[in-house]
């Protein structure tokens, strides 16, 4: 647990929220909850598998996971 209003104690999630805000929240205007859910599903797949990540030596997360032997469900 972290203290409320102390983002410096959870830098990873704060960075994720910043990326999510700039990549999704500031670029889209949603007309329905269903549209929002569809965009978030696409974003989650992109973020977790396709986005080049500096912490992974600028590799795609999918390629990195595969290189260490993690099997990824193609339907995910």
pLDDT for 2: 77
Measure the CA–CA gap between 34 and 37, rounded to whole angstroms.
5
Question: At a CB cut-off of 8 Å and minimum separation 6, what does 61 contact?
Answer: 48, 49, 50, 51, 53
The pLDDT tens digits of the residues spanning 5-48 come to 777 788 888 888 888 999 999 999 999 999 999 999 999 989 88
Helices within 27-75 (DSSP H only): 33-45, 61-67
The answer to whether 50 touches 60, Cβ cutoff 8 Å, is yes
């Amino acid at each position: 647990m972290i203290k409320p209003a102390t983002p410096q104690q959870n830098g990873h999630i704060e960075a994720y929220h910043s990326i999510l805000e700039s990549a999704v929240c500031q670029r889209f205007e949603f007309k329905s909850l269903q549209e929002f859910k569809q965009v978030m599903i696409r974003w989650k797949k992109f973020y977790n598998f396709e986005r080049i990540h500096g912490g992974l030596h600028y590799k795609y997360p999918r390629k990195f996971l595969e290189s260490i032997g993690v099997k990824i469900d193609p339907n995910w």
